[in-house]
Structure 1
């Protein structure tokens, strides 16, 4: 990933006329006007409108970077097995779970710019989405009350620092488990399996990575998606942006020919503009894990207990059906892998 250190934003940027916050075709929003069709983006002919704040143009690398090791080869996908239920106050002094219980709320890092996973309801301003509801389930098991969550808005670049500095208890931010990241923080078992693909305007003629040579591709900084695009097509120019909703604006304002990241995130962008479609084969496997400070093993085990309960009692499928049916049917949640 390309390191970018930006302060966490606590408010959205100025209104963008091309960014549609809702879509008539999804269960998330209703009563929105259908956007006007966009004309196809001609390759190499880009708008002169200013880019979003913090966006960068990265020229073609010309050489594909080395493929990183798959997380299953280094054991990163294997987490700690849930421990036996322990009554509050019976845990060892200084345990992370006891500290959270004493505080009276769970502090969770996420963002507000990922439609379907964590975004602001345009009417109420409350955070909602699949990741938000997963965090609430952990709070439910901790306190018997899913509302006892304090959300901290994090950038891609600050999420691991926030865990290491104990600024948040968990990061539930569509975070792919990688070998490199597992050196810094602990991860839960995989709670969602995504795959990196391409989002393009309908009729663009782009069908896979071979068609990206000489084209512009939008992706986010501090994510595995950027390096994957450079690897699968080193002749592509990268439009690197701070947040995923910026890629929607970049496509609509004709600054890029395609966007690339996890299909789960692309589905959230496509739901806001029916002129866009997801195409091409999977470029990379993206197993999501909940991030935890590496020294808080008791919290890792507790979170894995919640995920096990969600798999068993149907909660995971209920959340999938609420938020993610646009991705198509799934047989069920990812099976856990434990190392102990």
Structure 2
């Protein structure tokens, strides 16, 4: 069963839910409100320009059974704590957004985190969801405030200087959302126009690189961009096609246009302090891609947009 049929009913309530500050899922999983930024980990040396950001740490050995985490590993510490701490957003429809009827934060990214919790505990609900800002994702992963970040996060060499990334689990690309009456056919047609993206995202950086010189406008979250668009404070929104699909589903007067003008490989960010945890996450991802769990997750959240593609192939270093 897919989710698009519920979107129209939740639009108004969902936007209220973004600012509601709820602190617990109604199914018992813990949820924390947006967090103030914490001191970041000591800066790491910049990666070489030739780095392969997609190449993650290679898994070693067999995947341990749930509740049997190797002593001395970060997985064992997570198990002792009793919950996995996942950093994500609450306003990215289909990937990580708060369901106004259940109070749960749910979506494709959240399920990626729940699958890691299940591999550690044998229970996907042994998870604490910490709502974080886009501009906090690298910082809070680097200093260990969260165990991992799954939040439509693009792998790149700049971020790789501060955090480790899992293998890529989703391939996206940046497009543009405009009013249905717009004649724009892509980002190049928006020269001089105000184009919104979330502060701290690669999407905002990519808008500034477009040759026709659209004006990047930063907002705290995608719901904020949507409100700014609906109030004519901006002319368009530009980000990954997957995020735009969720925004367009909330506004009958909006449409997504143009070809993808970037490649946005999504991966989970993890502190460099715990390379064994990154390898463990990669083992779980490899298993889930092989046994059909990845496809089932895609079908649940994104199936309305077509047949599931083949999951991204892992690259290791």
TM-score norm. by structure 2 comes to: 0.82
The structure showing larger relative contact order (alpha-carbon pairs under 8 Å, at least 6 residues apart) is: 1
5+ residue gaps, structure 1: 1-24, 35-70
Give a deviation string over 1:15-56, Cα, whole Å, max 9, x none.
xxxxxxxxxx9234465699xxxxxxxxxxxxxxxxxxxxxx
Give a deviation string over 1:242-289, Cα, whole Å, max 9, x none.
101111111111112211011111111011112211111112100001
Counting matched residue pairs gives: 278
Q: State the secondary structure of the residue aligned to 2:261.
A: strand
In the superposition, relative to structure 1, how do residues 313 and 27 fare at CA in structure 2: closer, same or farther (>3 Å)?
A: farther
In structure 2, distance between residues paired with 1:249 and 1:237? 18
Deviant stretches of 4+, over 2 Å: 27-34, 85-93, 325-331
The answer to whether the 8 Å contact 1:116/1:130 transfers is yes
In structure 2, distance between residues paired with 1:32 and 1:111? 17
The answer to whether the 8 Å contact 2:175/2:187 transfers is no
Report what 1:243 is aligned to.
Answer: 221
The answer to whether the 8 Å contact 1:113/1:244 transfers is yes
Query: How much has 1:128 moved relative to structure 2?
Result: 0.8
Report what 2:70 is aligned to.
Answer: 91
The answer to whether the 8 Å contact 1:232/1:283 transfers is no
Pick one of 77, 83, 87 that aligns with 2:54. 77
In the superposition, relative to structure 1, how do residues 101 and 294 fare at CA in structure 2: closer, same or farther (>3 Å)?
A: same
In structure 2, distance between residues paired with 1:226 and 1:164? 22
Query: How much has 1:77 moved relative to structure 2?
Result: 0.5
In the superposition, relative to structure 1, how do residues 232 and 256 fare at CA in structure 2: closer, same or farther (>3 Å)?
A: same
Report what 1:181 is aligned to.
Answer: 159
Give a deviation string over 1:177-209, Cα, whole Å, max 9, x none.
000000100000000000001011112001112
Report what 2:33 is aligned to.
Answer: none
TM-score norm. by structure 1 comes to: 0.77
What pairs with 1:61-76 in structure 2 (closer than 5 Å)? 73-76=50-53
Report what 1:167 is aligned to.
Answer: 145
Rg comparison, structure with higher value? 1
In structure 1, distance between residues paired with 2:49 and 2:123? 35
Give a deviation string over 1:281-305, Cα, whole Å, max 9, x none.
1121000010000121110011111
The answer to whether the 8 Å contact 1:195/1:262 transfers is yes
Instruction: Give RMSD over aligned pairs.
Output: 2.1
Pick one of 174, 196, 208 that aligns with 1:230. 208
Query: How much has 1:90 moved relative to structure 2?
Result: 6.6
5+ residue gaps, structure 2: 13-47
